[in-house]
Amino acid sequence: NAGVMQNPRHLVRRRGQEARLRCSPMKGHSHVYWYRQLPEEGLKFMVYLQKENIIDESGMPKERFSAEFPKEGPSILRIQQVVRGDSAAYFCASSPRAGGAHNEQFFGPGTRLTVL
């Protein structure tokens, strides 16, 4: 059973470009969480999605950021018109059910976004 997959692992963008980060949850998991991690800091929650639904986006900036988790395919975190402050590691986690214990929430390896 493959773990949570994220790609690309590293992404370089120039200011103003778009960044698309993909997350494939573990098999059988229908809940996905996105987090952002700045250097030497803990993870900060951005958004929680179920298939085709955004459940909680309280941690996601209102502008330029969007997320989706379609019926088929990976979850996508999209950042439009990137700025240098968007440079960070973005992690997704998946779990098999809502509100599950955190030993059921597995993290992917992350995408490291660098904005030049």
Partner 1 sequence: GESVGLHLPTLSVQEGDNSIINCAYSNSASDYFIWYKQESGKGPQFIIDIRSNMDKRQGQRVTVLLNKTVKHLSLQIAATQPGDSAVYFCAEAGGGSYIPTFGRGTSLIVHP
25 binds partner 1 (CB under 8 A): no
User: Hey, which residues does 67 pair with through a beta bridge?
Assistant: 77
The answer to the question of residue 103 lying near partner 1 (CB under 8 A) is yes
- Does position 45 interact with partner 1 (CB under 8 A)? The reply is yes
Q: Which is nearer to partner 1, 18 or 41 (CB)?
A: 41
Task: Look up residue 99 and give its DSSP letter.
Answer: T
Q: Cβ(76)–Cβ(67) under 8 Å?
A: yes
Residue 5 Cβ vs partner 1, minimum distance, rounded to whole Å: 11
Contact status: 33 vs partner 1 (CB under 8 A): yes
Ramachandran category for residue 81: left, alpha or beta (phi over 0 → left; psi -120 to 50 → alpha)? left
CB of 40 to partner 1, least distance (A): 7
Using CB under 8 A as the binding rule, whether residue 96 contacts partner 1 is answered as: no
Of the candidates 104, 100, 115, 102, the one whose C-alpha atom is nearest the C-alpha of residue 43 is 102
**What is the layout of strands, in order, in the sheet containing 5-7?**
5-7, 19-24, 75-79, 65-68
Work out whether 27 is an interface residue with partner 1 (CB under 8 A): no
Note whether 36 and 43 are within 8 A (CB).
yes
Say whether residue 98 binds partner 1 (CB under 8 A).
Answer: yes
Given the rule CB under 8 A, which residues bind partner 1? 4, 33, 40-45, 48, 56, 59, 91, 93, 98-103, 105-110
